[in-house]
Amino acid sequence: MGVLGFQIGMLNNKKKFSPLIMSAAVGNSSQLGHFENTLPSKEILELWKNGDAVCFDVDSTVCLDEGIDELAEFCGAGKAVAEWTARAMGGSVPFEEALAARLSLFNPSLSQLQNFLQQRPPRYD
């Protein structure tokens, strides 16, 4: 639910910044061989040092639920959002596009987020 936390922070923060979206995925470990413990490039270090926020997607990994689908259901848009989630997870739609589309389907308010978290706290693995 990092994205949701990001939105809450944005509602309370008037500072303008340009978000940078980077994603990484680990493939089949047998194809990767082994992970090398190397230092990141200067460019990557600069991105980390100058970032306003870091968000990690832990849905269905650390958290047992797919957070955006749960929130959408709570707000009455569960089926439509779940369809977008399935497309994104299937790889037919880029993550950023699917995320924007899913949020636009129900555009949760701060009070809805707070009520959702009170009534349905995250379940951790």
Q: For 1-109, where are the alpha helices, taking DSSP H only?
A: 2-12, 29-32, 42-50, 67-74, 78-90, 95-106
Whole-model pTM: value is: 0.57
What confidence tier does 80 reach under pLDDT thresholds 50, 70, 90? very high
Domain spans, the chain: 57-120
C-alpha span between 73 and 96 (Å, rounded): 20
Q: Is 69 a catalytic residue?
A: no
- Selecting among 57, 65, 69, 125, the annotated active-site residue is 57
C-beta separation of 69 from 87 below 8 A: no
- Selecting among 52, 59, 65, 69, the annotated active-site residue is 59
What confidence tier does 40 reach under pLDDT thresholds 50, 70, 90? confident
Q: Is 57 a catalytic residue?
A: yes
C-beta separation of 95 from 88 below 8 A: yes
pLDDT tens-digit map of 58-68: 777 788 888 88
**CATH numeric code, 57-120:** 1.10.150
